[in-house]
Amino acid sequence: MSDIYKKSSSSRVTLSQLMLPSHSNFSGKIHGGYLLSLMDQIAFACGSKYSGKYCVTASVDRVDFLNPIEVGELVTLKAMVIFVGNSSMVVGIRVEAQNIQTGKVKHCNSSYFTMIAKDEQGNNARVPRLILNSKEEVLRFVKTTQRLKLRQSYAELCTDFDGDMQQAIDKITQDFGAQVQLP
């Protein structure tokens, strides 16, 4: 284990960008894929800043688009490491959009990216341990451990079924009301 400790606040990164028509989808709102790209960029910057290493994205926990983002709004992404493992870090990201004419700010998205630190050979690299300095940081850390436990439980639930096709068909028809019409 690394005996280096860092404050969560030392990882803080903020990115602001004006949303242009080229970032929009067919309905004139900012494309979700473009927003995800920005989120991945800030997660990389945050994890790399904290670890001092090159980082790769291992997973993204749940992305809910809470409010649409309009062309012409100023989008601000705020990221901070909220949990560390051995070589992994969970980066919490909050996305807000501001109407630059009215000043109104809306929360558009929050998400959690798991980043893995890599050494020069591409192997997993240890990251500094985390110092938590506030009640909010402690709560974020604990909630992350709960999400990690849920992810593990979900993975166990999603193991391949044992090949009993009739059992699978019965489950589908009973639980979801779908019709199965195999040739």
181 found inside a domain: no
Among 44, 54, 47, residue whose Cα is nearest residue 11: 47
How many structural domains comprise the chain? 1
39 found inside a domain: yes
How far, in Å, CA of 19 to CA of 13, rounded? 19
Buried b / exposed e over 13-51, threshold 16 CB at 10 Å, is: bebeeebeeebbeeeebbbeebbbebbeebbbbbbbbbb
Going by pLDDT thresholds of 50, 70 and 90, the confidence category of residue 1 is very low
149 found inside a domain: no
37 found inside a domain: yes
How far, in Å, CA of 107 to CA of 124, rounded? 34
How far, in Å, CA of 180 to CA of 13, rounded? 50
**Could you tell me if 11 and 48 are in contact, meaning their C-beta atoms sit under 8 angstroms apart?**
no
159 found inside a domain: no
Higher pLDDT, 65 or 162: 65
Mean pLDDT of 134-161: 86
Higher pLDDT, 166 or 112: 112
Going by pLDDT thresholds of 50, 70 and 90, the confidence category of residue 121 is very high
Outline where the chain has alpha helix (H). 32-51, 135-157, 165-176
146 found inside a domain: no
Query: Domain with 107 in it: what CATH number?
Result: 3.10.129.10
| pTM exceeds 0.95 | no
**Could you tell me if 129 and 5 are in contact, meaning their C-beta atoms sit under 8 angstroms apart?**
yes
Mean pLDDT of 18-40: 96
174 found inside a domain: no
70 C-beta neighbours (distance < 10 Å), count:
15
Q: Which domain holds residue 34?
A: 5-132
80 found inside a domain: yes
The CA R_g of the chain, rounded to the nearest whole Å, is 20
